[in-house]
Amino acid sequence: MFLFILVSLLFGVLIYFLFNIRSFFNRKSLRLPPGPKPRPIIGNLPHMGPMPHHSLAALARTYGPIMHLRLGFVDVIVAASASVAAQFLKVHDANFSSRPPNSGAKYIAYNYQDLVFRPYGAKWRLLRKITSVHLFSGKALDDYRLVRQGEVAVLTRALASAGLKSELVNLAQLLNVCTVNALSRVMLGRRVFGDGTGGKDPKADEFKSMVVEVMVLAGVFNIGDFIPSLEWLDLQGVAAKMKKLHKRFDKFLGEIVEEHKMNIHDAKGKQTDLLSTLISLMENPDDGEEKLTETEIKALLLNMFTAGTDTSSSTTEWAIAELIRHPEILTRVKNELDSVVGRDRLVTELDLPKLTYFQAVIKETFRLHPSTPLSLPRVAAKSCEINGYHIPEGSTLLVNVWAIARDPDEWAEPLVFRPERFLPGGEKANVDVRGNDYEIIPFGAGRRICAGMSLGLRMVQLLTATLIHAFDWDFPSGLTPEKLNMEEAYGLTLQRADPLIVHPRPRLTPKAYEV
């Protein structure tokens, strides 16, 4: 078997070299960005390490903020500073508006039929328009404000009940159920999990594990993506796991779509949720628009139920963990919440703009714990020059969001959780997270910026403010804030290595928890 693999590898290298010999010699005369010397065939894949955003940040300290790596047969450009990121995502944004081929998009995301990985073009713009108008516009967000607040209130009641019973809770699981149900009520007109009491649901636990597995598999640097001749061997077993996981998601999403079609028929087309709109566009597209296919609808739902939920819940979990570890900051946030909201009701979204210090806490959480630490890859449509370096056509671009937000040239004491930096008079008082200030871009920037940024911001703010305002938090016996594990788990998104297990203690008047 080893001999067979070796022969296949050598044959693949030979074929690749013969087809690319001209460009190989042309590249010798061009000035590529600096980077570590690649090894034969596999290139710099070993340099990626178990935590690629950490490894690439360390390499940038040696080779500079714009690096060239060779992963297998693929040129990879890494941006690791705010100024370099702005060159790619602002000045040259149009040239880097599509995604490179990758196994995750092929085997999980319906072979590039989704919004996140679909190549830039007319169909991508249609999907982006649909979600922007019906789900993420200011009007849509305002229309469904009470839905989000209702689901957060359900979560709060469940936590209060657990607190009165002196029970420990897995905050990650409950946050995920809340974000999924808040989104599904807008998208589908109903909850996906639970009975509205906020209690445990085995299906929700299974779904959470599926989402985490997606993020882990999508974060793997799959050898087949970088050495195409070896893709069919699936040396890491990644493709097989992706295909198996895709079947589980397809079953889950297919049942949702079929059930919805039946409900639309029974309601004689009166439903107004996003999925009803998508189904109508599949059957009767707008003038001049292409028809949506059922596969595209399921692919879009997959994006929403994975990237649109777990990122918000995990960021909230990081925020709570940081505040528990910094009691003086936590006290200041609680005092601000009590002053603005009082103790007789829960926080609403209308309260959030009034919470100046709290807003700084959220920005600082996004800085230290960006939900996607290494940006989703982009690809160069044509060669270009950036900062005096040649960027080859077909290069994969990775922006190290995590490293940029911890760059000591941009941030004073970059590893310290210090919200004051975003307050008036602070070093970054006017910096925001919405993609215009490149030193902190947790949602990306440019035309491929996260479509759900506005919703994600609202959910993280509402969830975090409510949990801090409504509860005091204790740890299991023997654990102190100083001993709390703040390590990251491997994956496309920034999960905690250990879920936050805590005991909530209600701190508001009893009527505040009545739903």
Q: Three-class SS of residue 75?
A: strand
Distances (CA, A) of 496 to 321, 369, 487: 10, 10, 6
Rounded CA separation 234/334 (Å): 51
Estimate to the nearest angstrom the gap between the alpha carbon of 380 and the chain centroid. Answer: 22
Contact 470/344 with Cβ under 8 angstroms? Answer: no
First and final CA of the chain: distance in angstroms?
Answer: 63
Rounded CA separation 57/25 (Å): 30
Backbone angles phi, psi at 510, to 5 degrees: -55, -35
Q: Three-class SS of residue 40?
A: coil
The sign one gets for the Cα dihedral 248, 250, 251, 257 is positive
Take residue 484 and report the two structure tokens written for it. Answer: 């709390």
Closest CA to 51 of 495, 514, 456: 495
Q: Which residue has the tokens 């963990």?
A: 321
Distances (CA, A) of 126 to 110, 272, 456: 17, 19, 21
Rounded CA separation 415/408 (Å): 9
Rounded CA separation 83/27 (Å): 25
Rounded CA separation 100/394 (Å): 8
**450 annotated ligand binder:** yes
Q: Three-class SS of residue 504?
A: strand
Take residue 318 and report the two structure tokens written for it. Answer: 């990081």
Contact 253/294 with Cβ under 8 angstroms? Answer: no
Rounded CA separation 58/406 (Å): 12
DSSP 132: I
Contact 159/174 with Cβ under 8 angstroms? Answer: yes
Task: Please report, as a single letter, which amino acid is at residue 60.
Answer: A
**66-71 and 74-79 as β-strands: parallel, antiparallel, unpaired?**
antiparallel
3-class secondary structure per residue, 135-185 = HHCHHHHHHCHHHHHHHHHHHHHHHHHHHHCCCCEEHHHHHHHHHHHHHHH
| Greatest distance between any 2 Cα atoms in the chain | 75
Rounded CA separation 403/367 (Å): 10
Query: Residues forming the annotated binding site for heme?
Result: 450
